[in-house]
Amino acid sequence: MKINWGTAIVISFIGFISFILFFVIRMSMDNRANHDLVTEEYYKAELEYQNEIDAAANAANKGNLSIKRTSQGLVLTFPTYYSTEKIKGKVSLYRPSNKHLDFDLALNLSNAHLLIPDKRLLDGRWDIKISWEYEGEAYLQKESIIY
């Protein structure tokens, strides 16, 4: 059977459309292409953003924490003028590449240091958010580190 040029164009269009549909369906079903929002309640978190800006300004004015990597893990050191008994808050560690590695730690300090153990942190990028309250005033420090 001889195929004329009109039939060849129709067959090539059908082949091209099938090729594109195959990749669209494959990518929509693939879990590697499944990207989530950073937080589930994104709009609620956006409304509370001004509180974060104020808390970050408080932390910048009163002195930031120091974050150092040691052989035992990550050490957060508060400035010495803070009374450690009055500090309440939490440390959130966010892993951009895998949300299953995210975790939070409560700030219950007996001295000016908090150690995050090395076994909890995998190599790679971590976003650290330290929010604390001291004498009724909110503080916030955010940093991105490569561990």
- How far is residue 75's CA from residue 34's CA, in Å, rounded to a whole number? 34
- CB atoms near residue 111 (< 10 Å): 8
> Do 46 and 30 sit in the same domain of this protein?
no
At 52-95, the pLDDT tens digits run 899 999 888 887 788 888 888 888 888 888 888 888 899 999 98
> Do 72 and 94 sit in the same domain of this protein?
yes
The pTM of this model reads 0.65
List the CATH number of the domain containing 57.
2.60.40.10
Please give the structure tokens belonging to residue 142: 């955010």
> Do 92 and 133 sit in the same domain of this protein?
yes
> Do 51 and 96 sit in the same domain of this protein?
yes
At 18-45, the pLDDT tens digits run 999 999 998 888 777 666 666 677 778 7
pLDDT at 8: 93
| E runs forming strands in 4-136 | 66-69, 73-77, 87-94, 103-107, 113-117, 125-134
State phi, psi for 109 to the nearest 5 degrees: -100, 140
> Do 69 and 96 sit in the same domain of this protein?
yes
Count of the separate structural domains present in the chain: 2
133 CA to centre of own chain? 22
Domain that includes residue 10, residue range: 1-35
> Do 70 and 8 sit in the same domain of this protein?
no
- CB atoms near residue 91 (< 10 Å): 20
Lowest mean per-residue pLDDT among 31-35, 98-102, 111-115: 31-35
